[in-house]
């Protein structure tokens, strides 16, 4: 026969228990505090006692748990199969977690592990530019919306290099500054390209064997197609003796024409600039060094355009083609005589040379017995349809002096088809 306890009885029992616990707690506090001069000793001894008791009981429980785990698989065949099954499951997940952490570390951490190499390659293909520096060509990338960074040796002998964009258009820098000792140059363009700007990442955050991508245009305009992207791994950070810049060493193999292109991590952030390659090992000036050296760039060692069309007819012809080379179309137009201007205007005349990427002057000399007539040899590099075509010309310009300046009056220029090597070196 079961008896149901009344609510009043349950409440009374609960109150009695609470009262008993309260009285015991008060008695414990009194024993701990009084006499007061024993309190520090009691505090230490009580604490040590309870810690020892807790540690002892915990150890006993752990031993019992271990003994139970060791015995449990052998208590029945069912337990043994369960133990093997769950052991394999646990081992699989433990191994997977270990491999996953290894991959994450190799890719530079969680923030880079989930970056898409495909997206980074796509960004490189639409942002890395060609640099045409006269006889030298290379690559470059935007570090600001109107500034392109490249290697100094690409533009060292060229006062008016050209920047060719992935869409085939090109532009001429309005200002050039550089640090020749560390092989860095900065080209300032007249137009902004905010969507092509790269961000920086410090090489100090790179992990050994972390994948890196180097982008550039091998062999310059002689090789058609979009930007080439080479993949390799981070090896080490280096510093060359006697230089102020640090280098990123990788397993990437660079080729001629890729100088000045970016070295990026899996997320597309720039860790360095393509600098040199030796036997399958490449070196890149680090992003940290670039940012440190950037404020010290100057134009002191940049080759300048120095022409004087008032000096002589030959100097005027040289100035005319130099202005075409530098895309200074108004300056070139102003060297046309009044007679020549009767049959053209600035817009029409400029459109004749819209696809001229470069002009190389081989010879300007006065014709004997005709002091105002100048013999000239030059070549043009025409950029059309993502391809460069070379044309060679020779002939004469008749000049006329208007004011203090010699100007182009009448030309007799003809194209030379496939000139031999002697044509270039004739005195």
Residue-wise pLDDT tens digits, 117-163: 899 999 999 999 999 987 889 999 999 999 999 999 999 989 999 99
What CATH number has the domain spanning 117-296? 2.40.10.120
pLDDT higher than threshold 90 for residue 100: no
| pTM of the predicted protein model | 0.75
Look at the alpha carbons of 148, 153, 158, 162 in this order and tell me if their dihedral is positive or negative. negative
pLDDT higher than threshold 80 for residue 250: yes
Sequence-ordered strand ranges (E) for 318-386? 356-367, 370-384
- The pLDDT, as a whole number, for residue 286 is 94
Q: Where are the domains positioned within the chain?
A: 117-296, 313-425
pLDDT digits (tens, 9 = 90+) for 299-316: 988 888 899 999 999 999
Find the mean pLDDT for residues 188-198. 94
The CA distance from 35 to 26, in Å, is: 15
- The pLDDT, as a whole number, for residue 242 is 65
- Across the beta sheet with 162-164, the strand order is 170-171, 162-164, 129-133, 136-144, 147-150, 184-188, 175-179
Q: What is the dihedral of CA 219, 220, 225, 230, to 10 degrees?
A: 60
pLDDT higher than threshold 70 for residue 5: no
pLDDT higher than threshold 90 for residue 101: no
- The pLDDT, as a whole number, for residue 243 is 66
Give the CA distances from residue 369 to residues 191, 365, 395, 411, in Å, rounded to whole numbers and listed in that order.
Answer: 48, 12, 16, 17
The CA distance from 285 to 237, in Å, is: 10
Residue 298 DSSP label: B
- The pLDDT, as a whole number, for residue 47 is 84
- The pLDDT, as a whole number, for residue 273 is 96
Helix orientation angle between 39-71 and 7-33, rounded to the nearest 10 degrees: 120
The answer to whether the 117-296 and 313-425 domains have the same CATH topology is: no
Instruction: Report which of residues 105 and 197 the model is more confident about.
Output: 197
What CATH number has the domain spanning 313-425? 3.10.450.100
């Amino acid at each position: 026969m079961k008896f149901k306890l009344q609510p009043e009885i349950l409440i009374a029992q609960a109150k009695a228990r609470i009262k008993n616990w309260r009285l015991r707690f008060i008695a414990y506090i009194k024993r701990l505090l009084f006499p007061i001069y024993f309190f520090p000793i009691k505090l230490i001894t009580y604490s040590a006692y309870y810690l020892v008791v807790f540690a002892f009981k915990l150890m006993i429980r752990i031993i019992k748990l271990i003994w139970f785990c060791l015995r449990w698989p052998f208590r029945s065949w069912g337990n043994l199969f369960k133990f093997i099954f769950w052991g394999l499951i646990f081992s699989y997940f433990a191994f997977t977690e270990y491999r996953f952490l290894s991959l994450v570390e190799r890719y530079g951490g969680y923030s880079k592990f989930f970056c898409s190499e495909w997206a980074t390659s796509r960004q490189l293909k639409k942002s890395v530019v060609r640099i045409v520096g006269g006889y030298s060509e290379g690559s470059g990338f935007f570090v600001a919306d109107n500034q392109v960074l490249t290697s100094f040796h690409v533009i060292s002998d060229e006062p008016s290099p050209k920047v060719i964009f992935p869409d085939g258009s090109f532009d001429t820098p309005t200002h050039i500054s550089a640090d020749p000792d560390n092989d860095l140059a900065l080209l300032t363009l007249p137009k902004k390209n905010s969507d092509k700007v790269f961000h920086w990442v410090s090489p100090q955050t790179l992990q050994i064997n972390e994948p890196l991508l180097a982008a550039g245009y091998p062999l310059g305009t002689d090789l058609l197609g979009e930007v080439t992207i080479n993949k390799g791994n981070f090896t080490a950070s280096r510093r060359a003796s006697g230089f102020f810049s640090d280098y990123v060493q990788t397993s990437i193999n660079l080729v001629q024409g890729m100088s000045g292109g970016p070295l990026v991590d899996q997320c597309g952030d720039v860790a360095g600039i393509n600098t040199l390659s030796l036997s399958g090992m490449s070196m890149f000036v680090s992003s940290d060094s670039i940012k440190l050296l950037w404020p010290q760039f100057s134009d002191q060692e940049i080759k300048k355009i120095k022409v004087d069309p008032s000096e002589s007819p030959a100097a005027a012809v040289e100035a005319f083609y130099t202005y075409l080379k530098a895309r200074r179309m108004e300056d070139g137009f102003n060297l046309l005589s009044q007679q020549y201007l009767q049959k053209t205007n600035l817009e029409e005349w400029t459109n004749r040379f819209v696809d001229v990427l470069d002009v190389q002057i081989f010879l300007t000399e006065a014709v004997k017995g005709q002091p105002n007539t100048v013999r000239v040899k030059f070549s043009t590099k025409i950029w059309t349809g993502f391809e460069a075509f070379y044309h060679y010309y020779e002939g004469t310009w008749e000049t006329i002096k208007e004011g203090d300046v010699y100007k182009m009056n009448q030309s007799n220029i003809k194209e030379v088809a496939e000139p031999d090597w002697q044509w270039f070196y004739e005195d």
